[in-house]
């Protein structure tokens, strides 16, 4: 408590000084400085109120002799009054100064003074004597017409901005850069006032004709903050303009999404999908410049976490939402694929962007083979200074979970000889960094496992141990090695699908999951599989039921 | 119903008193009761705002009150401006009391407590009085900041936001007054003419006459009934202007040519009177042989340039008006003797100037062949 009160005194001095410098915020510098400090000042006011409400008027003045000056100065600054709830908290603070039972004339005068200041705050700052006289003459009070006056001013400014945007050549009617900058500053405290939305939208969408950015960065930051916290509702076009014009805002929006994803329940793709759709980033990403930035941030996240499966899953969900948004876009200008994926051959991009739902089931195998060929070509092509090499191709491939997660299933479902192309694709998906030798070895290993599993799928009674042996597990190799992960997933896949395995499923998992990390991995796998099955509508009722039950049980274990 | 109307009466009295020194006698109980009444009426407005009979009854009562206060010839109404105002009558009352320094200490303290109870559970249904007041403060700051940092006076007055707002208010008021009393608008306008700064008033009238007619739509609670039917209000204005020649003369003198042309195009009833005025002004000028120009005899006579300006503007108006103007000019010219030579009849000279101006304009725009220099 004592520390709090010392802090408050320090803050008090700081803000007193600031307010004196700001005065009525009529210059560029004072306006900018006020804008930057608005949120912090409001916090200070809240703290002051908490302190003041516990004291009576006399005590307040003993503790803060200049409190009346501080509050009065704040009231004279229209930016402060316009911001969020500052005007309310100021009023509460002022109310604390009133003496319940004034003992002398000085205290009475103070009460009068407080009443006067309160009235001033609410008197809707008079201007334009003529207007005031006119409205009074008609019998109206400000409360009767201020909302519609504000509306008219906002609409008029918005249409001026639009005209400025369209009339490039008519220099007489141009809005000067100073006026534009001034307008954007003035909007900073008003962002969350719904009446001002048309003006904010116009400022974002109409960018005039200067080569460099005129609007104040504080404006963009304030709008972005309000958009992320859902305190303002702007049309998508305005949000896209915001993110195109002010890169830090886009980055902040991505970080905001990441934070939400991290702090939410692990391994729940449905929730991830909700968050992603909610963020409006997929729609915005229809604009290639935004897509590139978003993709880059995903790439960084992937590198930093060394290919964490959660990030991969997020990228897949994002891409799926993005593709859906792209379909819905009714724009006349459709951007070429190359602008989204500049380092990829157009044919590969086009194949990958196909939704498996749109391809007849019978052709899935064919499509996967084609993808494999194109990817292999890209990966093994070391010439022409291809960017990034195998990792780049892998990064591209993992975007498209619809196909990537399908490879194992396709391999397991067919009784015929597993196609080399699919084996290669599977090995590549799980370990992109492998050299040719290593990959060939993995392919051989997978082929062997597939053979064993196929044989076992025909027998009616199986034990968990049988399966484990067939998969070549239980050896001393590092359980986290990519090939091990691959085999684990093959096994799980098989287990969900093969009829004889449903009874031994739990045993298999118990044997498999000797660490918490692997349990999480299995949960992730089950969640992802169910999510994908739901989307494509390919699950068999028994498999689905089993998967759901297993998922539920495992979730309670961790 | 009767008790509701009595409530309204008493509240209007209260509202009127709240501005006077009489509040010195108020104690906390009075303050509380006053606010309760306001809250009750506001609630009534919300619930029955769309309810025909109740709304009509309340409106009629308000109109009665105004009539009793001396109708519209006197001054602004001290109580509620219209039915819409009931929607925020608690704010109105609160503001008046807060502005009134005659309030005693106990009453003041109680008032402030009632208005600003502090952070609490927000009411899900209605906005609390505290919220309304905070929003008013915020709105006021917004207007202030936009006014001084973004607003620039629009040279087309009818598009200027301050002008538009005043015009909308005038039209709304006229409509309200018209409902209360048939002769209301005319008397009301005359009283405004006496009391208000005349220059601004004339501009507002012009802008009001140019407001677009709006399609009827269901009345919204949140907005004031400003956009209802500007038609009625405009008609009242035209009627009044035509009935007050002194005002109309000032109207035509003070306002810019372009604006008057727009107004006259929109309201054809005004064009004969406008043309008549212009004709009168023209006839007061005589030709000064030495200087070679048309001049007036007295200082307040309209000079040639202005006259020419106005006619030029009228000739750029769309057909019915333009033709009327040209016909009028031709008629005047004929009456004067139908001269073709300049310097004898101002109407000849005007027509010559207008035609050559038009010719010059066509040249500049590249519409007719000819000498490039004029």
Q: Which two tokens stand for residue A420?
A: 């080399």
Residue A473's pLDDT is 57
Contacts of B200 in chain A (CB under 8 A): 130-131, 133-134
Token pair 């000019």 in the structure block, residue: B329
- The partner residue sitting opposite A78, judged by closest CB among B81, B141, B224, is B141
Q: Is the ipTM of this complex over 0.95?
A: no
Residue B218: band (very low, low, confident or very high) from pLDDT cuts 50, 70, 90: very low
One domain, residues B167 and B203:
yes
Q: Quick one: average pLDDT of A184-190?
A: 95
Residue B277's pLDDT is 92
One domain, residues B307 and B327:
yes
Q: How many CB atoms lie within 10 A of CB A102?
A: 19
Residue B354's pLDDT is 87
CA–CA gap between residue B304 and residue A539 (Å, rounded): 91
Position B148 pLDDT exceeds 90: no
Residue B218 resides in a domain: no
CA–CA gap between residue A549 and residue A546 (Å, rounded): 5
For chains A and B, count residue pairs whose Cβ atoms are closer than 8 Å.
203
The 3-state secondary structure of A191-215 reads CCCHHHHHHHHHHHHCCCCCCCCCC
Residue B73: band (very low, low, confident or very high) from pLDDT cuts 50, 70, 90: low
Position B33 pLDDT exceeds 80: yes
CA–CA gap between residue B259 and residue B265 (Å, rounded): 10
Q: Which two tokens stand for residue B194?
A: 């006496």
Residue A505: band (very low, low, confident or very high) from pLDDT cuts 50, 70, 90: confident
Q: Quick one: average pLDDT of B257-277?
A: 93
Residue B225's pLDDT is 46
Residue B207 resides in a domain: yes
Residue B291's pLDDT is 84
Q: Quick one: average pLDDT of A462-466?
A: 75
Residue A98: band (very low, low, confident or very high) from pLDDT cuts 50, 70, 90: very high
Highest mean pLDDT among A69-78, B181-190, B282-291 belongs to A69-78
Angle (deg, nearest 10), helices A346-353 and A390-398: 30
Position B128 pLDDT exceeds 70: yes
- Alpha carbon A75 to its chain centroid, in Å, reads 37
Task: Please report which helix (H) or strand (E) contains residue B20, including its range.
Answer: none
Q: Show which of B133, B150, B167 is a domain's final residue.
A: B150
Nearest to B174, CA basis, from B226, B247, B251? B226
Mutate to test the interface with A, among B31, B77, B101, B165 (most CBs of A within 10 A): B165
In a 10 Å sphere around its CB, with 0-12 CB exposed, 13-18 middle and 19+ buried, how is residue A552 labelled?
Answer: exposed
Nearest to A193, CA basis, from A222, A246, A231? A231
Residue A457: band (very low, low, confident or very high) from pLDDT cuts 50, 70, 90: confident
Residue B77's pLDDT is 59
One domain, residues B101 and B3:
yes
Position B371 pLDDT exceeds 50: no
Residue B223 resides in a domain: no
Residue B357: band (very low, low, confident or very high) from pLDDT cuts 50, 70, 90: confident
What percent of chain A shows pLDDT beyond 90?
45
| Distance of residue A379 Cα from the nearest chain B Cα, in angstroms | 57
One domain, residues B288 and B278:
yes
One domain, residues B34 and B175:
no
Residue B373: band (very low, low, confident or very high) from pLDDT cuts 50, 70, 90: very low
Task: Please report which helix (H) or strand (E) contains residue B131, including its range.
Answer: helix B129-149
pTM summary value: 0.86
Position B217 pLDDT exceeds 50: no
One domain, residues B202 and B250:
yes
Q: Which two tokens stand for residue B114?
A: 């009632």
Position A407 pLDDT exceeds 60: yes
Residue B16's pLDDT is 86
| Distance of residue B219 Cα from the nearest chain A Cα, in angstroms | 15
One domain, residues B246 and B337:
no
Query: Which residue on chain A is closest to B86 by alpha carbon?
Result: A144
One domain, residues B270 and B241:
no
CA–CA gap between residue A117 and residue B90 (Å, rounded): 20
The 3-state secondary structure of B169-200 reads HHHHHHHHHHHHCCCHHHHHHHHHHHHCCHHH
Q: Quick one: average pLDDT of A433-454?
A: 87
* Of A172-176, B109-113, B199-203, minimum mean pLDDT range: A172-176
Query: Which residue on chain A is closest to B79 by alpha carbon?
Result: A139
Position B362 pLDDT exceeds 90: no
CA–CA gap between residue A523 and residue A557 (Å, rounded): 11
Query: Which residue on chain B is closest to A91 by alpha carbon?
Result: B116
Residue B30: band (very low, low, confident or very high) from pLDDT cuts 50, 70, 90: very high
Residue B226: band (very low, low, confident or very high) from pLDDT cuts 50, 70, 90: very low
Residue A310's pLDDT is 86
Q: Show which of B150, B170, B204 is a domain's final residue.
A: B150
Residue A332's pLDDT is 53
Residue A399's pLDDT is 93
Contacts of B139 in chain A (CB under 8 A): 124, 146-147, 150, 193, 195
CB contact under 8 A, B224 and A148: yes
**Backbone phi, then psi, for B345, in 5-degree steps?**
-130, 130
* Of A140-144, A364-368, A478-482, A549-553, minimum mean pLDDT range: A478-482
Residue B356 resides in a domain: yes
CB contact under 8 A, A95 and B143: no
* Of A150-164, A229-243, A271-285, B358-372, minimum mean pLDDT range: B358-372
Residue B369 resides in a domain: no
| Distance of residue B142 Cα from the nearest chain A Cα, in angstroms | 6
Nearest to A196, CA basis, from A152, A162, A236, A242? A152
Residue B170 resides in a domain: yes
Residue B176 resides in a domain: yes
What SS3 class is residue B152? coil
One domain, residues B301 and B276:
yes
Position B58 pLDDT exceeds 90: no
Contacts of B109 in chain A (CB under 8 A): 98-100, 111
CB contact under 8 A, A137 and B130: no
Query: Which residue on chain A is closest to B92 by alpha carbon?
Result: A143
CA–CA gap between residue A319 and residue A369 (Å, rounded): 22
Nearest to A261, CA basis, from A222, A305, A225? A305
pLDDT tens for each residue of A8-22: 888 999 999 999 999
| Distance of residue B340 Cα from the nearest chain A Cα, in angstroms | 41
Q: Quick one: average pLDDT of A246-274?
A: 91
Residue B72's pLDDT is 60
One domain, residues B353 and B279:
yes
One domain, residues B186 and B201:
yes
> Which bin fits B285, alpha (ψ -120 to 50), beta or left (φ > 0)?
beta
| Distance of residue B159 Cα from the nearest chain A Cα, in angstroms | 8
DSSP state, A113? H
| Distance of residue A71 Cα from the nearest chain B Cα, in angstroms | 15
Residue B31 resides in a domain: yes
Mean pLDDT (chain A) is 87
Highest mean pLDDT among A206-210, A330-334, A474-478, B317-321 belongs to B317-321
| Residue spans of alpha helices (H) in A459-504 | 464-470, 482-497
Residue B223: band (very low, low, confident or very high) from pLDDT cuts 50, 70, 90: very low
Q: Show which of B104, B126, B150 is a domain's final residue.
A: B150
| Parent domain of B146 | 1-68+80-150
- How many domains is chain B partitioned into structurally? 3
Residue A384's pLDDT is 52
* Torsion angle of the four alpha carbons A76, A78, A82, A87, in this order, in degrees rounded to the nearest 10: 0
CB contact under 8 A, B165 and A152: yes
Contacts of A102 in chain B (CB under 8 A): 105
Residue A536's pLDDT is 82
CB contact under 8 A, A146 and B224: no
One domain, residues B41 and B144:
yes
Contacts of A127 in chain B (CB under 8 A): 144, 147-148
Contacts of B62 in chain A (CB under 8 A): none
Higher-pLDDT residue of B139, A541 = B139
Residues 6+ apart with CB under 8 A from A107: A57, A99
What percent of chain A shows pLDDT beyond 70?
93
CA distances from A220 to A5, A198, A236, A374, B2 (A): 35, 15, 15, 43, 56
CATH number for the domain including B314?
Answer: 1.25.40.490
**Backbone phi, then psi, for B211, in 5-degree steps?**
-65, 140
Q: Quick one: average pLDDT of A136-155?
A: 89
């Amino acid at each position: 408590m004592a520390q709090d009160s010392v802090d408050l005194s320090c803050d008090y001095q700081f803000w007193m000084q600031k307010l004196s410098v700001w005065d009525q915020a009529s210059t560029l510098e004072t306006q900018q400085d006020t804008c930057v400090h608005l949120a912090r000042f409001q916090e200070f006011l809240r703290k002051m109120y908490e302190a003041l409400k516990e004291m009576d008027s006399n005590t307040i003045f003993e503790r803060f002799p200049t409190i009346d000056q501080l509050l009065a100065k704040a009231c004279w600054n229209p930016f402060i009054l316009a911001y969020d709830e500052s005007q309310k908290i100021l009023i509460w603070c002022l109310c604390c100064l009133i003496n319940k039972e004034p003992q002398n004339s000085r205290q009475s005068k103070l009460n009068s003074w407080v009443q006067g200041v309160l009235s001033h705050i609410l008197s809707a700052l008079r201007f334009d004597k003529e207007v005031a006289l006119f409205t009074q003459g008609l019998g109206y009070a400000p409360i009767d017409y201020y909302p519609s006056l504000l509306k008219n001013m906002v609409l008029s400014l918005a249409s001026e901005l639009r005209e400025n945007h369209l009339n490039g050549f008519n220099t007489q009617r141009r809005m000067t850069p100073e006026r534009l900058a001034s307008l954007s500053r003035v909007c900073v405290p008003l962002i969350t006032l719904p009446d001002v939305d048309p003006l904010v939208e116009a400022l974002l969408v109409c960018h005039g004709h200067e080569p460099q950015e005129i609007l104040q960065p504080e404006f963009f930051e304030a709008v972005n903050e309000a958009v992320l916290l859902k305190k303002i509702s702007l049309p998508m076009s305005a949000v896209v303009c915001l993110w195109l014009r002010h890169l830090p805002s886009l980055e902040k929006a991505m970080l905001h999404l990441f934070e939400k994803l991290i702090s939410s329940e692990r391994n729940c793709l449905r929730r991830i999908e909700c968050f992603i759709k909610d963020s409006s980033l997929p729609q915005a990403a229809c604009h290639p410049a935004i897509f590139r930035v978003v993709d880059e941030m995903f790439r960084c996240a992937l590198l930093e976490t060394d290919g964490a499966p959660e990030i991969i899953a997020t990228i897949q969900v994002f891409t799926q939402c993005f593709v859906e948004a792209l379909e819905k876009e009714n724009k006349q200008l459709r951007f070429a694929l190359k602008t989204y994926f500049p380092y990829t051959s157009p044919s590969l991009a086009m194949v990958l962007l196909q939704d498996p739902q749109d391809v007849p089931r019978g052709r899935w195998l064919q499509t996967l083979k084609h993808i494999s060929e194109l990817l292999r070509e890209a990966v093994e092509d070391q010439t022409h200074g291809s960017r990034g090499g195998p990792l780049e191709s892998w990064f591209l491939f993992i975007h498209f979970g619809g196909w990537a997660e399908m490879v194992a299933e396709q391999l397991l479902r067919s009784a015929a000889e597993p196609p080399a192309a699919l084996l290669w694709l599977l090995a590549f998906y799980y370990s992109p960094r492998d050299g040719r030798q290593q990959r060939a070895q993995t392919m051989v290993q997978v082929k062997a496992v597939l053979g064993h599993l196929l044989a076992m799928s025909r027998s009616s009674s199986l034990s968990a141990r049988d399966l484990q042996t067939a998969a070549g597990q239980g050896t001393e190799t590092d359980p986290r090695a990519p090939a091990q992960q691959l085999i684990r997933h093959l096994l799980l896949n098989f287990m969900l699908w093969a009829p004889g395995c449903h009874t031994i499923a739990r045993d298999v998992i118990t044997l498999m999951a000797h660490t918490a990390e692997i349990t999480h991995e299995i949960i992730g796998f089950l969640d992802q599989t169910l999510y994908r099955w739901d989307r494509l509508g390919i699950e068999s009722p028994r498999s689905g039921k089993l998967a759901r039950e297993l998922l539920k049980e495992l979730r309670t274990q961790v | 119903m009767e008790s509701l109307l009595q409530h309204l009466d008493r509240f209007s009295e209260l509202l009127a008193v709240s501005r006077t020194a009489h509040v010195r006698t108020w104690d906390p109980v009075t303050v509380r009761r006053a606010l309760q009444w306001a809250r009750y009426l506001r609630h009534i407005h919300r619930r029955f705002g769309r309810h025909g009979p109740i709304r009509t009854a309340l409106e009629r009562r308000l109109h009665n009150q105004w009539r009793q206060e001396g109708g519209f010839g006197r001054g602004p109404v001290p109580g509620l401006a219209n039915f819409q105002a009931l929607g925020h009558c608690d704010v109105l009352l609160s503001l008046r009391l807060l502005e009134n320094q005659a309030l005693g200490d106990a009453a003041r303290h109680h008032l402030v407590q009632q208005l600003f109870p502090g952070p609490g559970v927000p009411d899900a249904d209605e906005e609390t009085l505290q919220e309304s007041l905070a929003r008013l403060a915020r709105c006021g700051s917004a207007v202030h900041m936009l006014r001084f940092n973004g607003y620039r006076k629009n040279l087309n007055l009818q598009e200027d936001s301050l002008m538009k707002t005043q015009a909308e208010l005038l039209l709304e008021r006229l409509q309200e007054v018209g409902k209360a009393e048939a002769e209301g608008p005319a008397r009301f306008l005359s009283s405004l003419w006496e009391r208000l700064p005349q220059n601004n008033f004339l501009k507002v009238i012009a802008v009001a006459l140019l407001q677009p007619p709006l399609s009827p739509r269901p009345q919204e609670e949140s907005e004031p009934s400003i956009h209802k039917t500007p038609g009625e209000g405009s008609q009242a204005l035209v009627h009044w202007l035509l009935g007050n020649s002194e005002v109309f003369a000032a109207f035509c003198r003070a306002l810019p040519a372009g604006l008057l042309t727009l107004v006259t195009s929109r309201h054809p009833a005004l064009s004969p009177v406008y043309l008549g005025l212009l004709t009168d002004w023209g006839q007061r000028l005589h030709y000064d042989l030495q200087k070679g120009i048309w001049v007036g005899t007295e200082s307040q006579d309209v000079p040639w340039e202005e006259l020419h300006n106005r006619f030029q503007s009228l000739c750029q108006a769309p057909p019915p008006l333009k033709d009327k103007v040209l016909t009028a000019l031709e008629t005047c010219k004929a009456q004067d003797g139908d001269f073709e030579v300049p310097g004898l009849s101002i109407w000849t000279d005007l027509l010559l100037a207008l035609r050559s101006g038009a010719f010059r304009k066509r040249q500049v725009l590249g519409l007719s062949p000819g000498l490039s220099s004029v």
